[in-house]
Structure 1
């Protein structure tokens, strides 16, 4: 194993979705990474190391917030980066996709924004269990569920089976739809993400006793999203669209953002059809499972179109 790890002609990586281990020739692996990094919609290649500059800016912004008494000295110290360290990028090969593309991961344990990201993650994650309640109370969507894990799905399936049996619903009238949101993390527009999350917090901060003022939250979120600098093969890159999969806040941030867009589309859908038609809408991050009480392909296509049209950056396939 040590001999394999020390070989420079191969790269060993875990596969995406935890389906195994992948061994790739180094040049093949590097070409897959560079293919993504050359997409200028998402990444800028830099000709210098910007980390010292970003390090100074973050310290300045944090002290500004502290001087306004919006965070305590204890929180300030916990958010301050220790040094201007740089993240690194690697990919997880997607064995379940054609041509085995890679899911980009930015390993930012020592990144200058990692402490801020962890702080925001701690305060955003408690909102996720409330999304189902908000969908019901605010949007009259009864069967919207953000899944926690596989066991959660199994429990919900048991409830569905009971509902079908109790109401004598013929499963021949049931359509199961699976899909995902293409490259979710990298496709969330940063400015729209900040606006959407800030608006969400302003409406629902009371649910979790959210401790940050809205302006402070926006500044901290901006620092994390817009300073994703990483290194690959000695070259520096700046992610200019989306958020890094690897930063702590990414899962709750993406979860809440997608929720805010989905409920708009689902509300439009249910205005046109009986609420009974949507038996369940499940989502686990970017994976979708929908149960419709209809076999009409035009209705299914309409639902997909509504989801795709509510935000041009999110594509449901």
Structure 2
């Protein structure tokens, strides 16, 4: 392929303007945490919000200089030590011999959780919204380090531990997997309930996480590649958790609690930790209400990372007590509760209860921009053709009622027309 003849998406003038914007001292440009929006912020506002996070001594500590060389020495000592007798020389070389670089800290604005921004969207009703420095805007902390010293060993640990997630009863892979666990009919008095873990990644105590991973490895030892000792996995995990250092605004920090959102093993680690707490939850429920009720909760309780869903058949007093038991499992892991008699979103699915029947619809957050790939982009034609097909297929899979499905497909059509996709009548 002759790359010199590939047409650019932007003109030279547009590229120059974008470079000037991205390197300008007065603004910061970030992608929204969810919804696909591009967010342009005042640099001082952004930095002050991030510094508020980094100055919380419960989670971060400022350090003098870059610790990456010391971290790599620890990794090499583990990889070449007695816990790795069956790891090949080629594997060892991959894990430790690469040009590592310091991770960078940044925050993704949680537009969907800002009441001020939601109100601005409602009032302005435009493709772009002007909302200067919303005080209630929070950020999702990300440690971006694709070449951090711990990243390759973190990737290995993720490969080794991920199979265990399938043994977590509550585990769902995505919203489509979630649909498979929804019943067709429920009790007339049933309530739709969701629970959300407050800042899960940063709140997992290391001793709890290590205990959880050890629990699952010991329970299902055959699911761990026999060439890798359990002690090696646990020591490697401690290295990843205890050596999460990064830079922001020319200062250096280390995370002192939880796991970094950005390291490869984090989602698997979080899933196994909450799965372990759920085994403790069942024991508490057996004590409180007996085996039958505990089994019912275990069967119906579904979770994707920190988002939990259940159709509740008990009374409100029992739900309140259940919530209390849930928050009593570990003081660091706290759950918020949301409940509705008729409809409630979970992931990208809007679950609705119509008398005793359960139906599903697709759910878009108020801040979702529907910024799909522009048809004028210089991507291959097969890529652009696949986007409408897969989006429509997703609508057809999630939306259970035919009339609603037709409405959602018309909505999707209007979103795509705005992105200059052609209307075809064949």
Q: Same fold (TM over 0.5)?
A: yes
Determine the structure 1 residue equivalent to 2:145: 108
Measure how far apart 1:170 and its partner are: 3.2
Out of 312, 317, 324, the position equivalent to 1:305 is 324
2:80 alignment partner, SS class: helix
Give the structure-2-normalised TM-score: 0.65
1:70–1:216: 8 Å Cα contact kept in structure 2?
Answer: no
Q: Does 1:62 align with 2:79?
A: yes
1:1-317 equivalent positions in 2, closer than 5 A = 2=18, 3-65=20-82, 69-98=85-114, 99-132=136-169, 145-157=170-182, 160-161=183-184, 164=185, 169-171=186-188, 173-209=189-225, 211-271=227-287, 272=289, 274-275=292-293, 278=297, 280-294=300-314, 296-317=315-336
**Counterpart contact for 2:108–2:141, Cα < 8 Å:** yes
C-alpha change, 1:64 and 1:277, in structure 2 (3 Å) is closer
1:196 to partner: Cα distance? 2.2
Quote the residue 1:135 is aligned against: none
- Secondary structure of the equivalent of 2:332? coil
Post-superposition CA distance 1:122-154 (Å, at most 9, x none): 11111112212xxxxxxxxxxxx3111111122
Unaligned runs of 5+ in 1: 133-144
Residues 120 and 249 in structure 1, CA contact (< 8 A), matched pair in contact too: yes
Q: Runs ≥4 in structure 1, deviation > 3 angstroms?
A: 207-211, 276-279
Change in Cα spacing, 1:9 to 1:226, as seen in structure 2 (3 Å) is: same
Secondary structure in structure 2 of the residue aligned to 1:16:
coil
What are the Cα deviations for residues 161-207 of structure 1, in whole angstroms up to 9, with x where unaligned?
1xx2xxxx532x20111121001000011122122212321221213
Deviation string, structure 1 residues 194-239 (Cα, Å, up to 9, x no partner):
2221232122121354542111111111111111010001111000
DSSP-derived class of the 1:255 partner: helix
SS at match of 1:311: coil
Stretch moving more, 260-269 or 181-190: 260-269
Instruction: Name the count of aligned residue pairs.
Output: 294
CA contact (8 A) 2:108 2:139 kept: yes
* Contact residue 43 and residue 237 of structure 1 kept, 8 A: yes
Q: Which runs of 5+ in 2 are unaligned?
A: 1-13, 115-135, 337-426
Structure 2 Cα separation of the partners of residues 238 and 38 of structure 1: 11
Distance 1:309 1:211 in 2: 38
Larger helix proportion of the pair: 1
Where 1:156 maps in the other structure, the secondary structure is coil
Aligned 8 A contact 1:91 1:104 in 2? yes
